[in-house]
Structures are given as structure tokens and as C-alpha cells.
A and B are shown apart, each in its own frame.
Chain A
């Protein structure tokens, strides 16, 4: 198993702006998942992108995957205060290993 590394560690933007977070990993994967964690709660699965996909959308979320660069990005469009949370990527493996995440703060 491997751990994804999220970048930046912290991101603060104004409500309505777009937020972009990046994830890098080291070895080949079958898929990559993104999770969100609100303060004090368990992680919530957001989206899974497979290695043969380059881009995937879910509502205001857009995820890209570049297997040649071993990187993924998560874009949240038209951010809302409720998007304030930590976001984690998890490169596919039998057991998921999480990094430090990106702490996203949406300012009203």
C-alpha cells in the first residue's frame, strides 16, 4: 500500500471561488479515491477515479488523474462554507493509507 501526499497543506479562499487540491503518489495504481473529513467526524467518500480514466465529475467536484505523472487533482467549484473540511486522497490498495490532507477553509 502507499500513501498519497496532498498539496497544499492548507488552503483558504472566499466563498464562491474555486478550490484546487493536488495529490501525488509513488507507484502504479488501479484507482485513486478522495475523501472529506469534517472536524471531529469520520471520513466521507467523495469520488473514485480508475486508472483508465482521466477525468471524472460529481456535482461541483471534478477530479483528474495523470498516471504518467502519478498525480491527481480535486477541484471544488463555486465553494460554499459547508465545504470547509480536510480533504484526503488515497491511492488504490487493499488497505487505504491516508496522508496529512489539505485543510480547506471557505471564508464567507
Chain B
């Protein structure tokens, strides 16, 4: 049973381009969470999704950021018109969906904006 898979592992974009980060949850997990981490800081919650639904997006910036978790396929975190301040590690986690269930994390995508 593969763990949470994130790709790409590293992503380099120029200012103004789009970044698409993908996350495949563990088999049988229907809940996905996205977090952002700046160097030497903790993880900041961005968004919580179930299949085809956004449950909580209180941590998402109001502009340029969007997330989806379609019925088929991975969850996607999309950042439009990237700026240097978007450079960070983005982690995805999944759970079975029971409240307070432990999270399983992917290895993250390191986004660098030039």
C-alpha cells in the first residue's frame, strides 16, 4: 500500500507562470489536506477537501490559489501567476475521514519561483 504520493518533488517556475501540484492520497483515504511551510517555520493549514468537495479553505489566499479533489484522480493545488513569496514547501496529507483521525503526509513539493 503506497503512501501519500506528491509530485513533482521540486518545481521551478518564473514569476507569472502557473504551478500545479499533485497529491494522490493513500488507498482508501477520501480526505486530503494541503499545508504550506516556509523555511524554519511550522506547517500552515491551507485547505481541506473530500472527494469533489471543499470542506474548509480558510487558510487559502483569496486570490490565485485554488484546490480540487475530483472523483477520479489526484488532488491538485493550483497557483496562478506565481510570485516569489509563493516559494515554499507544500505538503499534502490524507486521512480515512473519521474526525480526529491521524494524518499521513507526503514528502512535499518544493516550489521555487525565480
Contact = CB atoms under 8 A, between A and B. Distances in A.
A40 to B, nearest CB: 7
B107 A42 contact: yes
A63 B52 CA distance: 37
Interface of B: 4, 33, 35, 41-45, 48, 55-56, 89, 91, 93, 99-100, 102-108, 110
A44 B41 CA distance: 17
Interface stretch (A17-25, A53-61, A71-79, A87-95): A87-95
B43 A98 contact: yes
B42 A101 contact: yes
A42 B106 contact: yes
Contacts, number: 54
Q: Is the interface of A mostly helix, strand, loop or mixed?
A: loop
Interface string A19-57: 000000000001101010000111111001000000000
B100 A100 contact: no
Contacts of B35: 98
Interface residues of A toward B: which range? Answer: 20 to 34
A43 B103 contact: yes
Nearest to A97: B45
A35 B102 CA distance: 10
B108 A42 contact: yes
B35 to A, nearest CB: 8
A96 interface: yes
A67 B83 CA distance: 43
B54 to A, nearest CB: 12
A30 B106 contact: no
Contacts of A99: 42
A40 B6 CA distance: 14
